[in-house]
Amino acid sequence: MTYLPTLPTPRLIIDEAKLRANIARMQGQCDANGVALWPHIKTHKCLEIARMQLDAGASGLVCAKLGEAEVMLASGVRRIFLAYQLVDPETQAGRLRALADALDTLIVAATSFVQAEALGRVLDRAGITLPVLMAVDTGLGREGVRGLQSAQATAAVIQAHPRMRLMGLYSHEGQAYSEGVDRQMAAQHCVESLAAVRDAIDPALTLWPGCSVTADLAAALPGVHAVRPGTYVFGDLWLSRLTGQMSIAETALSVLTTVVDRPEPGLAFVDGGSKSFSSDKTPEGVFASPADERDFHITRVSEEHGWVTGRQVNELQIGDRVAWTPAHVCPVVNLADTLTVVNEGIVTSEWKVAARGKVS
């Protein structure tokens, strides 16, 4: 048996019971409303977790990049939505075709008038016809048509193209990641924005909002066909302390570190910096907080060092282990080769972050 204190650090630790609870909770909320759950795998990039989500009842998986989807095939998934702009026939058509051949359903994304035209060229080169979800910008200002006129013009491009079948509308309401957000209002705003576009184009279009801050509430709103959350599977400071979607105690991933220095009162260093925690932080400048909610935080990072400051920092001693909840979990996972799975303090498995670095 391997116990946590004997492991080298830094290391990503998964509490399997909490992971399973997070998967079951979101699936339960979707099932109760008759809404499909398509989890985004960008958060875990791990075949074992994708299989858990599918076994729990997920209808399909969402990936951003072709490389992520290619890796996820080994999970046994039969339906994937590639929620990212495809634009390059030269490098993407062959891979897209191979992916479509390997799956029962492959859905692709149209995010604007010009990108829809480019997507058409990729599909022409691939020689395949695919279902398309059109993105609607509901406030993030990233992917998605802006306004009804642009929505109608983009939908017309898709509907006129022989290799595209417009099936619905999606959004990523990442703007809901704001401190103290009213989650119900955010979910409602998003779904109403999608519904307005649907009503202007075709009442048969399905609605696919997606973001962990709002997914559980969006699933209960009329007209929603599917939700596509990713971060809910682990949780992080954004999803717990800042937006209140879950508690810190429910977060399933922590970064285990060791205290390596105490050079002056009020300051400790741990052996994880930006190469373990990424550069993402909360609006207060916190990169990570202790999973057991003691009152100190990582408030500055260099590559291999985390500066720990706060009221209880003087309690730390060299060699102490500290498990941290990161501010934003998704880039943290992408920095690690493996996830160490723990049940009641005992290491039970080591899972590969199989789609790590698959950014093309």
Ligand X SMILES: Cc1ncc(COP(=O)(O)O)c(C=O)c1O
The residues that touch ligand X, with contacts defined as CB under 6 A, are 40, 43, 62, 83, 172, 210-212, 228-232
**At its nearest, how many Å lie between ligand X and the CB of residue 269?**
30
**At its nearest, how many Å lie between ligand X and the CB of residue 79?**
15
Of 30 and 342, which CB lies nearer to ligand X in the complex structure? 30
**At its nearest, how many Å lie between ligand X and the CB of residue 133?**
10
Of 83 and 217, which CB lies nearer to ligand X in the complex structure? 83
**At its nearest, how many Å lie between ligand X and the CB of residue 175?**
11
**Would the CA dihedral through 277, 9, 242, 21 be positive or negative?**
positive
**Extended beta strands in 203-252, E state:** 206-208, 226-227
- CB-count burial class (<10 Å; 0-12, 13-18, 19+) for 149: exposed
Cβ neighbours of residue 349 closer than 8 Å, sequence gap 6 or more: 48, 340, 341
Of 40 and 65, which CB lies nearer to ligand X in the complex structure? 40
User: Which H/E stretch holds residue 348?
Assistant: strand 346-352
Secondary structure (DSSP) of 266-299: TEEEES--HHHH-S---TTS-SEEETT--S-EEE
Query: Hey, what are 163's tokens?
Result: 């290799």
**At its nearest, how many Å lie between ligand X and the CB of residue 157?**
20
**At its nearest, how many Å lie between ligand X and the CB of residue 62?**
6
Of 212 and 325, which CB lies nearer to ligand X in the complex structure? 212
Query: Hey, what are 147's tokens?
Result: 């306004």
Cα–Cα nearest to 124, from 156, 92, 76: 92
Of 186 and 211, which CB lies nearer to ligand X in the complex structure? 211
Of 64 and 342, which CB lies nearer to ligand X in the complex structure? 64
Q: Cβ(214)–Cβ(221) under 8 Å?
A: no
**At its nearest, how many Å lie between ligand X and the CB of residue 225?**
15
Of 12 and 316, which CB lies nearer to ligand X in the complex structure? 12
Longest Cα–Cα distance in the chain:
69
